[in-house]
């Protein structure tokens, strides 16, 4: 059947001045006798998903923007991403591309909705002078990624 899980990760003064700020995590059983209600109609009223599978896949991807450097490269998750040079990518230095990290581990770069082939994905320091590295250098060096 299922259960309803409600989570609020915000810190609050739950104990007022009697304790430190903390996060309250609440798991509520959907069929808790005190709050359960019989549905007005027994039939399934869920709407079918009216979305193409590829679009649904994008919805579940972690999406970001990255600034492409002069060498067609940028940093992502402490890796240097190098784009394949072609008619589209030659005009990308100084512009932002969209990155898609999918739950199954696949990674894709797009410019205005068009997938761009990658030449290389290299582990390395985000201190590399190519690409957009705002705020990433300290994270890559500290092991937080």
User: Two tokens at 78?
Assistant: 């402490």
* Helix segments in 48-119, DSSP class H: 53-59
Distance CA 58, CA 52 (A): 10
Distance CA 74, CA 88 (A): 16
Task: Going residue by residue through the chain, which has 145 residues, state the pLDDT in tens, using 9 for 90 and above.
Answer: 556 666 667 788 777 778 888 887 766 556 666 677 788 888 888 878 787 877 888 888 999 999 999 999 999 888 889 999 999 999 999 999 999 999 888 999 999 999 999 886 655 544 433 344 444 444 565 443 3
pTM: 0.54
Ramachandran angles phi, psi of 142, nearest 5°: -95, -5
User: Two tokens at 4?
Assistant: 């309803």
């Amino acid at each position: 059947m299922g259960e309803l899980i409600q989570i609020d990760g915000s810190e609050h003064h739950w104990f007022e001045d009697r304790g430190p700020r903390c996060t309250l995590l609440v798991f509520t059983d959907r069929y808790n006798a005190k709050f359960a209600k019989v549905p007005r109609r027994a039939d399934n009223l869920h709407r079918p998903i009216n979305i193409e599978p590829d679009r649904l896949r994008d919805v579940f991807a972690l999406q970001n923007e990255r600034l492409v450097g002069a060498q067609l490269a940028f940093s992502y998750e402490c890796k240097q991403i190098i784009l394949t040079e072609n008619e589209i990518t030659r005009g990308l230095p100084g512009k932002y591309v969209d990155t898609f990290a999918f739950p199954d581990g696949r990674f894709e770069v797009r410019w205005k909705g068009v997938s761009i082939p990658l030449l290389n994905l290299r582990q390395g320091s985000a201190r590399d002078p190519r690409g957009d590295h705002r705020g990433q250098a300290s994270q890559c060096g500290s092991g937080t990624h």
